[in-house]
Amino acid sequence: MTRGGSGSLPRYILQRILLVIPMIWVILTLVFFVLRVAPGDPVSAALGGKLDQQALDQRREALGFNRPLIAQYWDYLSSVVHLDFGTTFSDNQPVLHVIRDNGGATLTLTVAAFVIALVVGIPLGLLAGRYRDSVPDAGIRLFGILTYAAPVFFVGFLMQYYVAEPLGLPTSGDASPITVFEVQPKTHILLVDAFLSGNTDAMQDVLKHLVLPAVTLGLLVCGVFIRLVRVNMLQTMQTDYVEAAEARGVKRRNVTWRHGFRNALVPVITVIGLQFALLLSGAVLTESTFNWPGLGQKLVQYINNRDYGAVQGIITFFAIAVVVISVLVDIVNALIDPRVRY
Amino acid sequence: MRRLVSVLGKPFTETTGLARWMLVAGVAITALFLVFAIFAPWLAPYGFAQSSSHGVEFPKAGAPSHAHPFGTDRLFFDVLSRVIWGARTALEVVILSILFCVVLGVPLGIVSGFYGGWLDRILVLVMDALYAFPSFLLAIVVSFLLVNVYGGSVIAVSLSLTVVYIPQYYRVVRNTTLSAKEATYIEAARAMGARDIRIMRKYLFGNVIQSVPVLGTLNAADAILTLAGLGFLGLGIQSTEAAEWGHDLNRALADAGSGVWWTGLYPGLAIVFLVIGLTLVGEGLNETLNPTLRRRRLLPVVMPPRTATTSIPEEQS
């Protein structure tokens, strides 16, 4: 493993982190130039008609739009290094505050959806892969394709029409006003705050609001897991060691469990990192469907307000989050599977 | 011609049972939507933004009836017509974005792979960054900019999809070019004194272009979903410009609470069916072309009949 020192874990982690810095830099540069080079003046796009000419000029000066592009680029990069994502134009708030106030809701939604996707997707995928070309396999594959093919907002529409009403579940927001009023904000994550407050009504209310959005988003991602786990299972069951185990006369059930399932699950960890991007995209749509007060819905709102500052800040944050998470997953992966550390 | 038929028929002849059935179903569904798209003006009972016919106003959010089998929406439009016209919008956007990808991605990939050097490095870095970016967010940002400037048109949306998918075309073409440029026929062309531009156009282009149809098929389903997602967020095509399923669903969402289901159900089903069709085609091709998953149909082995006279002597001993 430590041949020539190139396979050691700390070295791998360091390499991975050093490689990611230029990547983030390129992404930031793209975000900046794409949003700045675009025709049209951001300040008047966001505030035109709301403020007079003098106030617009003042705002432009305050935001540094009258300075050369390269100076603005430098400012942008150095402020991102200090974790400052700029200010929104339309309501003049630090983007970091927007992230703090709305990020919790997005985090709650994505984590809940992820858990649902894993709990539903992995067993179904294993089952389909184990009994290839049987009736359950066909059914599960069809289900997997359906979850992929149905856009989250369509599933959300169906949920709102066919599920929410009979079960009396709420379809909008993450809590009723009374809960928001009663629960003390401590962590900016409403679910955690509600549990910390010990108020049973608030807990119930928050969970009820979470069910439909989380299931909707979870179904989207679970299709990916079904397909992935199934294919892995198929490939694992064809490997030499499974054949060898069968030849040694190991019971069929033991072969499936100990040699098949366990090895088929290893790549899932890798894919979890890749799915984060899908989850984020799905979250933007789910939040808009269920009026969920998360970062994605906020982004869409700012887009509709033509607020370049907010869009730039939130997109920067998302991009960095995705890259950082992919690195973390790679590191975890290297910890688990030594083959990864080349 | 015969060769083409045998190539196209390969996925069908080499699969069995479920895999073949899925492929056939996928092709049938996709073909149905193609027919919708091409013959929309004749198949759809009304125009996509038509709110009256022969001087009679359509009902507002009218339930499905004889005159409007899928009902009408809140803008007085006929839902069936919009579902059919939506197929045309989807097809237009997908074809345009693939076209843009080919026109931009293939030359970039060839030049980048052929010359290498700093241009290649920069392009790889930029394309990798685009690819690492969550694709839907990228589409949102690009269409935000384009819609601001050009308005929500088919071209603007196609361009936003192009930005999402171009890294894949670039990568495939660049890598194919890298391996192809070492081939003997390129060396021969160079020895005969062919200029770089001629080598790229005459010798490389024909060889790298072959991977494009596969990529196009694989991305088409995803592109339909991205298009619908943009439409749903109001960043895509406006209702009066073209019929777009995602945008129709956005408007239908408000109806879910008031018992109006037909405005959302039918456009949603259209998306689901088209994506399923395209996915089945892609997955069917994958199962036949990917050697790790392939299960070829085996010809039955016919053993010669065993009789007393042909029995092998060793067997008795």
- pLDDT tens digits for chain B (317 residues)? 666 666 666 666 666 666 778 788 889 999 999 999 898 888 878 777 777 777 777 777 777 877 777 878 777 788 888 888 989 999 999 999 999 999 999 999 999 988 888 999 889 888 888 887 888 888 888 888 887 777 668 888 899 899 999 999 999 899 888 888 888 888 888 889 888 888 888 888 887 877 777 778 778 888 999 999 998 988 878 777 788 898 888 888 877 777 778 888 899 999 999 999 988 887 777 666 655 555 555 566 777 777 655 555 554 44
* B128 touching chain A per CB within 8 A: yes
Cβ distance of B271 and A149 shorter than 8 Å: yes
Q: What backbone phi and psi angles, to 5 degrees, belong to A48?
A: -55, 135
Q: How confident is the model at residue A218 (pLDDT cuts 50, 70, 90)?
A: very high
pLDDT of residue B300: 65
pLDDT of residue B29: 93
pLDDT digits (tens, 9 = 90+) for B202-214: 888 887 877 777 7
- Collect all residues with Cβ–Cβ distance below 8 Å to B14 and sequence separation of at least 6: B288, B294, B296, B297
Which range of A202-206, A261-265, B247-251 scores highest in mean pLDDT? It is: B247-251
Q: Residue B48 and residue B82: Cα distance in Å, rounded?
A: 5
pLDDT of residue A142: 84
Asked if residue A13 has pLDDT above 80, the reply is: yes
Q: Give the distance from residue A102's alpha carbon to the nearest chain B alpha carbon, in angstroms.
A: 17
Cβ distance of B141 and A315 shorter than 8 Å: yes
In chain B, which residue's Cα lies nearest the Cα of A40? Answer: B149
pLDDT of residue B316: 46
Lowest mean pLDDT, pick from A159-163, A193-197, A338-342: A338-342
pLDDT of residue A186: 72
DSSP A4: G
Percent of chain A with pLDDT over 70: 90
- Collect all residues with Cβ–Cβ distance below 8 Å to B42 and sequence separation of at least 6: none
pLDDT of residue B298: 58
Name chain A contacts of B279, Cβ cutoff 8 Å. 145, 148-149
Q: ipTM, 2 decimals?
A: 0.82
The dihedral formed by the CA atoms of A303, A307, A308 and A309, expressed in degrees to the nearest 10: -120
Which of B248, B224, B147, B167 lies closest to A311 in space, CA to CA?
B147
Stretch 215-274 of chain A: residues touching chain B, C-beta under 8 Å: 231, 234-235
| 8 Å CB contact between A226 and A143 | yes
Q: Give me the mean pLDDT over the A43-51 stretch.
A: 66
| 8 Å CB contact between B206 and B106 | no
Which of B206, B204, B220, B203 lies closest to B168 in space, CA to CA?
B220
Asked if residue A2 has pLDDT above 60, the reply is: no
Which range of A66-80, A174-188, A261-275 scores highest in mean pLDDT? It is: A66-80
Asked if residue A201 has pLDDT above 60, the reply is: yes
Q: Residue A144 and residue A136: Cα distance in Å, rounded?
A: 12
pLDDT of residue A267: 75
pLDDT of residue A213: 92
pLDDT of residue B200: 86
* B179 touching chain A per CB within 8 A: no
pLDDT digits (tens, 9 = 90+) for A277-329: 778 888 899 999 888 888 988 998 888 888 888 888 898 888 888 888 888 88
> pTM score, two decimals?
0.83
| 8 Å CB contact between B23 and B263 | no
pLDDT of residue B128: 84
Helix, strand, or coil (residue B53): strand
Cβ distance of A157 and B135 shorter than 8 Å: no
Residue B6 burial (10 A CB sphere; 0-12, 13-18, 19+): exposed
Q: Residue B164 and residue B127: Cα distance in Å, rounded?
A: 10
* B127 touching chain A per CB within 8 A: no
Q: In this complex, which of A137, A148, A284 lies closest to B279 when CB atoms are compared? A: A148
Q: Look up residue B85 and give its two tokens.
A: 């016209």
